[in-house]
Structure 1
Protein backbone atom coordinates (compact mmCIF):
# COMPACT_ATOMS: atom_id res chain seq x y z
CA UNK A 1 0.00 0.00 0.00
CA UNK A 2 1.32 3.41 -0.94
CA UNK A 3 1.83 5.67 2.06
CA UNK A 4 0.74 9.25 1.50
CA UNK A 5 2.41 11.27 4.28
CA UNK A 6 1.37 14.72 3.10
CA UNK A 7 -0.93 15.49 6.06
CA UNK A 8 -0.04 13.20 8.92
CA UNK A 9 -2.20 13.44 12.05
CA UNK A 10 -0.62 12.40 15.35
CA UNK A 11 -3.36 11.54 17.83
CA UNK A 12 -3.52 13.54 21.03
CA UNK A 13 -6.11 12.07 23.44
CA UNK A 14 -5.64 14.91 25.92
CA UNK A 15 -6.31 17.59 23.33
CA UNK A 16 -9.35 15.71 22.05
CA UNK A 17 -10.77 15.34 25.56
CA UNK A 18 -10.18 19.03 26.31
CA UNK A 19 -12.18 19.87 23.19
CA UNK A 20 -15.00 17.54 24.28
CA UNK A 21 -14.36 14.84 21.68
CA UNK A 22 -13.04 11.33 21.47
CA UNK A 23 -9.94 10.52 19.45
CA UNK A 24 -12.12 8.58 17.02
CA UNK A 25 -14.33 11.63 16.48
CA UNK A 26 -11.26 13.77 15.84
CA UNK A 27 -9.79 11.26 13.39
CA UNK A 28 -13.06 10.97 11.47
CA UNK A 29 -13.41 14.73 11.08
CA UNK A 30 -9.75 15.19 10.12
CA UNK A 31 -9.66 12.34 7.61
CA UNK A 32 -12.83 13.64 5.96
CA UNK A 33 -11.01 16.95 5.45
CA UNK A 34 -7.76 15.71 3.97
CA UNK A 35 -5.63 13.86 6.54
CA UNK A 36 -3.77 11.10 4.67
CA UNK A 37 -2.06 9.23 7.53
CA UNK A 38 -2.75 8.77 11.23
CA UNK A 39 -0.19 7.93 13.89
CA UNK A 40 -1.77 6.31 16.95
CA UNK A 41 0.12 8.00 19.75
CA UNK A 42 -1.09 7.63 23.35
CA UNK A 43 2.01 7.98 25.50
CA UNK A 44 0.56 7.16 28.91
CA UNK A 45 -1.83 4.39 27.90
CA UNK A 46 -1.39 0.77 28.88
CA UNK A 47 -0.91 -1.77 26.11
CA UNK A 48 -4.55 -2.86 26.05
CA UNK A 49 -5.83 0.69 25.73
CA UNK A 50 -3.39 1.48 22.92
CA UNK A 51 -4.31 -1.78 21.20
CA UNK A 52 -8.02 -0.99 21.36
CA UNK A 53 -7.45 2.51 20.00
CA UNK A 54 -5.23 1.31 17.14
CA UNK A 55 -7.75 -1.32 16.09
CA UNK A 56 -10.67 1.11 16.32
CA UNK A 57 -8.87 3.73 14.22
CA UNK A 58 -7.73 1.10 11.72
CA UNK A 59 -11.30 -0.05 11.19
CA UNK A 60 -12.69 3.49 11.04
CA UNK A 61 -10.55 5.09 8.32
CA UNK A 62 -11.07 4.54 4.59
CA UNK A 63 -8.61 2.53 2.53
CA UNK A 64 -5.73 4.69 1.42
CA UNK A 65 -5.32 6.36 4.83
CA UNK A 66 -2.31 4.79 6.53
CA UNK A 67 -2.54 3.99 10.25
CA UNK A 68 0.81 3.81 12.02
CA UNK A 69 1.37 2.85 15.67
CA UNK A 70 3.79 4.97 17.70
CA UNK A 71 6.67 3.23 19.50
CA UNK A 72 5.00 -0.07 20.39
CA UNK A 73 5.97 -2.76 17.91
CA UNK A 74 4.23 -5.37 20.07
CA UNK A 75 0.97 -3.43 19.98
CA UNK A 76 1.21 -2.98 16.21
CA UNK A 77 1.65 -6.72 15.72
CA UNK A 78 -1.28 -7.52 17.99
CA UNK A 79 -3.47 -4.85 16.37
CA UNK A 80 -2.67 -6.07 12.87
CA UNK A 81 -4.09 -9.48 13.75
CA UNK A 82 -7.46 -7.78 14.27
CA UNK A 83 -7.06 -5.13 11.58
CA UNK A 84 -4.76 -6.35 8.79
CA UNK A 85 -4.84 -2.98 7.01
CA UNK A 86 -2.72 -1.25 9.67
CA UNK A 87 0.30 0.16 7.83
CA UNK A 88 3.18 0.09 10.27
CA UNK A 89 5.03 1.51 13.21
CA UNK A 90 6.98 4.67 14.05
CA UNK A 91 9.92 4.38 16.43
CA UNK A 92 12.07 6.90 18.27
CA UNK A 93 15.76 6.99 19.00
CA UNK A 94 15.23 5.15 22.29
CA UNK A 95 13.14 2.37 20.79
CA UNK A 96 14.17 -0.80 18.95
CA UNK A 97 16.60 -0.20 16.06
CA UNK A 98 15.01 -0.35 12.60
CA UNK A 99 16.67 -3.65 11.66
CA UNK A 100 15.10 -5.37 14.67
CA UNK A 101 11.76 -3.72 13.97
CA UNK A 102 11.88 -4.93 10.36
CA UNK A 103 12.63 -8.48 11.47
CA UNK A 104 9.52 -8.41 13.65
CA UNK A 105 7.03 -6.60 11.41
CA UNK A 106 7.98 -8.09 8.05
CA UNK A 107 8.74 -6.60 4.66
CA UNK A 108 5.27 -5.21 3.97
CA UNK A 109 5.00 -2.91 6.99
CA UNK A 110 5.91 0.78 7.00
CA UNK A 111 8.68 1.85 9.38
CA UNK A 112 9.18 5.48 10.33
CA UNK A 113 12.02 6.78 12.51
CA UNK A 114 12.22 9.98 14.54
CA UNK A 115 15.30 12.07 13.78
CA UNK A 116 16.53 15.43 15.02
CA UNK A 117 20.21 15.42 14.07
CA UNK A 118 22.39 14.69 11.06
CA UNK A 119 23.69 11.55 12.78
CA UNK A 120 20.13 10.27 13.35
CA UNK A 121 19.34 10.73 9.68
CA UNK A 122 22.52 9.09 8.45
CA UNK A 123 21.91 6.14 10.75
CA UNK A 124 18.37 5.72 9.41
CA UNK A 125 19.53 5.95 5.80
CA UNK A 126 22.35 3.45 6.40
CA UNK A 127 20.20 0.93 8.27
CA UNK A 128 20.48 -2.59 6.86
CA UNK A 129 16.69 -2.70 7.08
CA UNK A 130 14.43 -0.55 4.93
CA UNK A 131 13.33 2.66 6.67
CA UNK A 132 10.38 4.12 4.80
CA UNK A 133 10.48 7.67 6.13
CA UNK A 134 11.95 9.88 8.84
CA UNK A 135 10.11 12.32 11.08
CA UNK A 136 12.29 15.41 11.60
CA UNK A 137 11.61 17.83 14.41
CA UNK A 138 10.75 19.81 16.14
CA UNK A 139 10.01 22.95 14.13
CA UNK A 140 8.89 24.79 17.26
CA UNK A 141 8.59 23.87 20.92
CA UNK A 142 5.28 22.17 21.60
CA UNK A 143 3.48 20.91 24.68
CA UNK A 144 2.58 17.74 22.78
CA UNK A 145 6.22 16.64 22.88
CA UNK A 146 7.84 18.18 25.98
CA UNK A 147 10.86 15.84 25.76
CA UNK A 148 11.77 16.99 22.26
CA UNK A 149 15.15 18.44 21.37
CA UNK A 150 15.70 22.17 20.78
CA UNK A 151 13.51 23.67 18.04
CA UNK A 152 15.10 23.56 14.60
CA UNK A 153 12.89 26.07 12.80
CA UNK A 154 11.76 25.63 9.23
CA UNK A 155 15.24 26.33 7.84
CA UNK A 156 16.82 23.79 10.16
CA UNK A 157 14.31 21.14 9.12
CA UNK A 158 14.99 21.83 5.45
CA UNK A 159 18.76 21.61 5.90
CA UNK A 160 18.48 18.26 7.66
CA UNK A 161 15.98 16.86 5.15
CA UNK A 162 18.27 17.82 2.28
CA UNK A 163 21.07 15.74 3.81
CA UNK A 164 19.04 12.52 3.82
CA UNK A 165 17.74 10.48 0.87
CA UNK A 166 14.71 9.17 2.78
CA UNK A 167 11.26 10.78 2.55
CA UNK A 168 10.94 13.23 5.43
CA UNK A 169 8.01 14.53 7.46
CA UNK A 170 8.37 17.67 9.56
CA UNK A 171 6.80 17.76 13.02
CA UNK A 172 6.43 20.06 15.99
CA UNK A 173 4.43 23.25 16.27
CA UNK A 174 3.83 23.58 12.53
CA UNK A 175 1.43 26.30 11.36
CA UNK A 176 -0.22 26.66 7.97
CA UNK A 177 2.19 29.53 7.24
CA UNK A 178 5.10 27.06 7.41
CA UNK A 179 3.62 24.61 4.93
CA UNK A 180 4.58 26.19 1.57
CA UNK A 181 8.27 26.43 2.46
CA UNK A 182 8.32 22.88 3.79
CA UNK A 183 6.72 21.46 0.67
CA UNK A 184 8.85 23.52 -1.71
CA UNK A 185 11.88 22.32 0.24
CA UNK A 186 11.11 18.72 -0.67
CA UNK A 187 9.39 17.42 2.45
CA UNK A 188 7.09 14.43 1.93
CA UNK A 189 4.61 15.78 4.45
CA UNK A 190 3.83 17.54 7.68
CA UNK A 191 2.84 15.93 10.97
CA UNK A 192 0.32 17.77 13.13
CA UNK A 193 -1.05 16.93 16.58
CA UNK A 194 -2.73 19.59 18.71
CA UNK A 195 -3.26 22.07 15.85
CA UNK A 196 -5.85 19.61 14.55
CA UNK A 197 -6.60 17.43 17.56
CA UNK A 198 -7.16 20.34 19.92
CA UNK A 199 -8.92 22.62 17.43
CA UNK A 200 -12.51 23.67 17.97
CA UNK A 201 -13.22 22.31 14.50
CA UNK A 202 -10.67 19.62 13.54
CA UNK A 203 -12.17 19.32 10.08
CA UNK A 204 -11.70 23.00 9.36
CA UNK A 205 -8.14 22.91 10.70
CA UNK A 206 -7.26 19.86 8.61
CA UNK A 207 -8.80 21.53 5.57
CA UNK A 208 -6.61 24.60 6.06
CA UNK A 209 -3.47 22.47 6.24
CA UNK A 210 -4.58 20.51 3.19
CA UNK A 211 -5.15 23.69 1.19
CA UNK A 212 -1.79 25.10 2.30
CA UNK A 213 -0.06 21.91 1.14
CA UNK A 214 -1.89 21.60 -2.16
CA UNK A 215 -1.42 25.27 -2.94
CA UNK A 216 2.30 25.35 -2.19
Structure 2
Protein backbone atom coordinates (compact mmCIF):
# COMPACT_ATOMS: atom_id res chain seq x y z
CA UNK A 1 0.00 0.00 0.00
CA UNK A 2 1.21 3.50 -0.82
CA UNK A 3 2.36 5.76 2.00
CA UNK A 4 -0.57 7.90 3.15
CA UNK A 5 -0.78 11.64 2.81
CA UNK A 6 0.79 13.54 5.69
CA UNK A 7 -1.45 13.77 8.71
CA UNK A 8 -3.02 17.02 9.84
CA UNK A 9 -1.03 19.56 11.81
CA UNK A 10 -3.96 19.87 14.21
CA UNK A 11 -7.10 17.76 14.33
CA UNK A 12 -8.51 18.54 10.90
CA UNK A 13 -8.09 16.92 7.49
CA UNK A 14 -4.95 17.38 5.42
CA UNK A 15 -3.48 16.02 2.22
CA UNK A 16 -5.92 14.73 -0.39
CA UNK A 17 -9.47 14.60 0.95
CA UNK A 18 -12.12 12.78 -1.10
CA UNK A 19 -15.73 13.96 -1.31
CA UNK A 20 -18.24 11.34 -2.38
CA UNK A 21 -20.93 11.32 -5.06
CA UNK A 22 -22.17 7.84 -5.90
CA UNK A 23 -23.95 9.15 -9.01
CA UNK A 24 -20.63 10.14 -10.58
CA UNK A 25 -18.71 7.08 -9.42
CA UNK A 26 -17.71 4.60 -12.14
CA UNK A 27 -17.96 1.71 -9.64
CA UNK A 28 -19.88 1.14 -6.39
CA UNK A 29 -18.98 3.95 -4.00
CA UNK A 30 -17.40 1.76 -1.34
CA UNK A 31 -15.13 0.23 -4.00
CA UNK A 32 -14.09 3.67 -5.24
CA UNK A 33 -13.29 4.85 -1.73
CA UNK A 34 -11.38 1.65 -0.97
CA UNK A 35 -9.28 2.22 -4.09
CA UNK A 36 -8.60 5.84 -3.09
CA UNK A 37 -7.55 4.64 0.37
CA UNK A 38 -5.21 2.13 -1.28
CA UNK A 39 -3.74 5.15 -3.09
CA UNK A 40 -3.00 6.93 0.17
CA UNK A 41 -6.19 8.86 1.00
CA UNK A 42 -7.01 8.97 4.72
CA UNK A 43 -9.86 11.51 4.83
CA UNK A 44 -13.25 11.09 3.15
CA UNK A 45 -16.32 13.33 3.35
CA UNK A 46 -19.60 11.50 2.79
CA UNK A 47 -22.02 13.65 0.81
CA UNK A 48 -24.86 11.80 -0.98
CA UNK A 49 -27.33 13.77 1.10
CA UNK A 50 -30.28 12.70 -1.05
CA UNK A 51 -30.31 9.23 0.51
CA UNK A 52 -32.76 8.34 3.29
CA UNK A 53 -31.04 8.49 6.67
CA UNK A 54 -31.10 4.73 7.16
CA UNK A 55 -29.39 4.09 3.80
CA UNK A 56 -26.92 6.89 4.35
CA UNK A 57 -26.07 5.61 7.83
CA UNK A 58 -25.45 2.14 6.42
CA UNK A 59 -23.20 3.62 3.75
CA UNK A 60 -21.36 5.61 6.42
CA UNK A 61 -20.76 2.41 8.40
CA UNK A 62 -19.32 0.67 5.33
CA UNK A 63 -17.03 3.60 4.54
CA UNK A 64 -15.88 3.88 8.16
CA UNK A 65 -14.89 0.23 8.10
CA UNK A 66 -12.68 0.86 5.06
CA UNK A 67 -11.11 3.96 6.55
CA UNK A 68 -10.67 2.67 10.09
CA UNK A 69 -8.68 -0.30 8.84
CA UNK A 70 -6.25 2.16 7.22
CA UNK A 71 -6.20 4.61 10.12
CA UNK A 72 -8.41 7.09 8.27
CA UNK A 73 -11.42 9.22 9.17
CA UNK A 74 -14.92 9.60 7.72
CA UNK A 75 -16.50 13.05 7.95
CA UNK A 76 -20.24 13.36 7.26
CA UNK A 77 -21.59 16.34 5.34
CA UNK A 78 -24.41 17.97 7.31
CA UNK A 79 -25.18 18.32 11.01
CA UNK A 80 -26.13 14.65 11.53
CA UNK A 81 -22.93 12.63 12.17
CA UNK A 82 -24.71 9.35 11.33
CA UNK A 83 -23.53 7.64 14.51
CA UNK A 84 -20.04 9.07 14.14
CA UNK A 85 -18.33 12.12 15.63
CA UNK A 86 -17.19 14.23 12.66
CA UNK A 87 -19.28 16.54 10.45
CA UNK A 88 -18.81 19.09 7.71
CA UNK A 89 -21.33 21.94 7.72
CA UNK A 90 -22.52 24.32 4.98
CA UNK A 91 -21.90 28.04 5.25
CA UNK A 92 -25.61 28.59 5.90
CA UNK A 93 -25.60 26.79 9.24
CA UNK A 94 -26.29 25.57 11.79
CA UNK A 95 -24.80 28.17 14.13
CA UNK A 96 -23.36 27.59 16.65
CA UNK A 97 -21.79 24.37 15.37
CA UNK A 98 -22.54 21.13 17.22
CA UNK A 99 -20.12 19.86 19.85
CA UNK A 100 -18.39 16.93 18.23
CA UNK A 101 -14.82 15.69 17.95
CA UNK A 102 -14.34 17.27 14.52
CA UNK A 103 -16.35 20.02 12.81
CA UNK A 104 -15.58 21.70 9.49
CA UNK A 105 -17.47 24.29 7.48
CA UNK A 106 -17.67 25.41 3.86
CA UNK A 107 -16.83 29.07 3.28
CA UNK A 108 -16.50 31.25 0.21
CA UNK A 109 -15.68 34.80 1.31
CA UNK A 110 -14.37 36.87 4.25
CA UNK A 111 -17.84 37.36 5.73
CA UNK A 112 -18.38 33.62 6.05
CA UNK A 113 -14.91 33.13 7.48
CA UNK A 114 -15.70 35.78 10.10
CA UNK A 115 -18.59 33.65 11.36
CA UNK A 116 -16.34 30.73 12.29
CA UNK A 117 -16.22 30.04 16.02
CA UNK A 118 -15.31 26.56 17.26
CA UNK A 119 -14.90 24.86 13.86
CA UNK A 120 -11.69 22.89 13.40
CA UNK A 121 -11.17 23.62 9.70
CA UNK A 122 -12.73 25.37 6.71
CA UNK A 123 -13.17 24.41 3.05
CA UNK A 124 -12.76 27.29 0.61
CA UNK A 125 -14.30 26.99 -2.84
CA UNK A 126 -14.41 27.07 -5.77
CA UNK A 127 -10.74 27.53 -6.54
CA UNK A 128 -11.25 26.71 -10.23
CA UNK A 129 -14.36 26.15 -12.37
CA UNK A 130 -15.72 22.71 -11.65
CA UNK A 131 -17.46 20.16 -13.86
CA UNK A 132 -19.41 18.93 -10.85
CA UNK A 133 -21.09 22.33 -10.38
CA UNK A 134 -20.97 24.15 -13.74
CA UNK A 135 -21.31 27.91 -13.34
CA UNK A 136 -20.57 27.78 -9.61
CA UNK A 137 -18.38 30.64 -8.55
CA UNK A 138 -16.79 32.95 -9.43
CA UNK A 139 -13.62 30.90 -8.95
CA UNK A 140 -11.14 32.15 -6.38
CA UNK A 141 -8.05 31.10 -8.35
CA UNK A 142 -4.85 30.64 -6.32
CA UNK A 143 -4.50 34.37 -5.61
CA UNK A 144 -7.99 34.58 -4.13
CA UNK A 145 -7.43 31.39 -2.18
CA UNK A 146 -4.22 32.79 -0.70
CA UNK A 147 -5.96 36.01 0.33
CA UNK A 148 -8.74 34.16 2.16
CA UNK A 149 -6.32 31.75 3.85
CA UNK A 150 -4.47 34.74 5.28
CA UNK A 151 -7.58 35.84 7.19
CA UNK A 152 -8.90 32.37 8.07
CA UNK A 153 -8.46 31.42 11.75
CA UNK A 154 -8.35 27.65 11.08
CA UNK A 155 -6.61 25.33 8.59
CA UNK A 156 -8.07 25.36 5.08
CA UNK A 157 -8.86 22.74 2.47
CA UNK A 158 -9.07 23.98 -1.12
CA UNK A 159 -11.96 22.67 -3.24
CA UNK A 160 -13.21 23.09 -6.77
CA UNK A 161 -11.88 21.91 -10.11
CA UNK A 162 -8.75 20.29 -8.67
CA UNK A 163 -7.81 17.45 -11.01
CA UNK A 164 -4.08 17.87 -11.78
CA UNK A 165 -0.82 17.80 -9.80
CA UNK A 166 0.01 21.41 -10.75
CA UNK A 167 -3.30 22.54 -9.23
CA UNK A 168 -2.50 20.69 -6.02
CA UNK A 169 0.87 22.45 -5.89
CA UNK A 170 -0.77 25.85 -6.45
CA UNK A 171 -3.13 25.25 -3.53
CA UNK A 172 -0.33 24.19 -1.18
CA UNK A 173 1.73 27.22 -2.21
CA UNK A 174 -1.30 29.39 -1.39
CA UNK A 175 -1.28 27.97 2.14
CA UNK A 176 -3.85 25.17 2.00
CA UNK A 177 -3.48 22.31 4.47
CA UNK A 178 -5.02 19.98 1.90
CA UNK A 179 -7.10 19.68 -1.24
CA UNK A 180 -10.62 18.28 -1.45
CA UNK A 181 -11.47 16.44 -4.65
CA UNK A 182 -14.69 14.90 -5.91
CA UNK A 183 -14.85 14.39 -9.67
CA UNK A 184 -11.15 13.59 -10.00
CA UNK A 185 -11.65 10.44 -7.92
CA UNK A 186 -15.30 9.61 -8.60
CA UNK A 187 -14.86 9.76 -12.38
CA UNK A 188 -11.43 8.12 -12.42
CA UNK A 189 -10.92 4.90 -14.32
CA UNK A 190 -8.34 4.01 -11.66
CA UNK A 191 -9.08 5.88 -8.39
CA UNK A 192 -6.02 4.41 -6.68
CA UNK A 193 -3.70 5.72 -9.37
CA UNK A 194 -5.34 9.16 -9.32
CA UNK A 195 -5.10 9.31 -5.53
CA UNK A 196 -1.45 8.30 -5.71
CA UNK A 197 -0.66 10.99 -8.29
CA UNK A 198 -2.43 13.78 -6.42
CA UNK A 199 -1.08 12.62 -3.07
CA UNK A 200 2.48 12.61 -4.38
CA UNK A 201 2.00 16.14 -5.68
CA UNK A 202 0.73 17.23 -2.29
CA UNK A 203 3.63 15.67 -0.41
CA UNK A 204 6.18 17.14 -2.78
CA UNK A 205 4.64 20.61 -2.53
CA UNK A 206 4.25 20.41 1.25
CA UNK A 207 7.89 19.38 1.61
CA UNK A 208 9.01 22.28 -0.56
CA UNK A 209 6.86 24.77 1.33
CA UNK A 210 8.23 23.46 4.62
CA UNK A 211 11.84 24.17 3.69
CA UNK A 212 13.42 27.21 5.36
Q: TM-score, normalised by structure 1?
A: 0.83
Q: Which moved more, 1:57-66 or 1:25-34?
A: 57-66
State the match for 2:114 in structure 1.
122
Q: Which moved more, 1:31-40 or 1:61-70?
A: 61-70
State the match for 1:79 in structure 2.
83
Q: How far off is 1:40 after superposition?
A: 0.4
Q: 2:141 aligns with which of 146, 153, 156?
A: 153
How many residue pairs get aligned? The number is 194
Are residues 146 and 95 of structure 1, via their aligned partners in 2, closer, same or farther at CA, if it must alter by over 3 Å?
farther
Q: Which moved more, 1:145-154 or 1:163-172?
A: 145-154
State the match for 1:33 in structure 2.
39
Matched, 1:110 2:130: no
State the match for 1:66 in structure 2.
73
> Structure 1, unaligned stretches of length 5 or more?
81-86
- How far apart, CA to CA, are the structure 1 residues paired with 2:197 and 2:36? 11
- How far apart, CA to CA, are the structure 2 residues paired with 1:122 and 1:115? 10
Q: 1:194 aligns with which of 165, 179, 183?
A: 183
State the match for 1:95 in structure 2.
93
Are residues 112 and 12 of structure 1, via their aligned partners in 2, closer, same or farther at CA, if it must alter by over 3 Å?
same
Q: How far off is 1:158 after superposition?
A: 1.4
- How far apart, CA to CA, are the structure 2 residues paired with 1:168 and 1:44? 26
> Structure 2, unaligned stretches of length 5 or more?
1-9, 206-212
CA offsets per residue over residues 3-33 of structure 1, 9 Å max, x none? 44211000110111xx2x1110011000111
State the match for 1:165 in structure 2.
153
Q: How far off is 1:121 after superposition?
A: 0.9
- How far apart, CA to CA, are the structure 1 residues paired with 2:127 and 2:197? 19
State the match for 1:84 in structure 2.
none
Conservation of the 8 A alpha-carbon contact between 2:12 and 2:120: no
Matched, 1:6 2:15: yes
- How far apart, CA to CA, are the structure 2 residues paired with 1:154 and 1:56? 35
Q: TM-score, normalised by structure 2?
A: 0.85
Equivalent residue of 1:79, what SS? coil
Equivalent residue of 2:40, what SS? coil
RMSD of equivalent CA atoms? 1.8
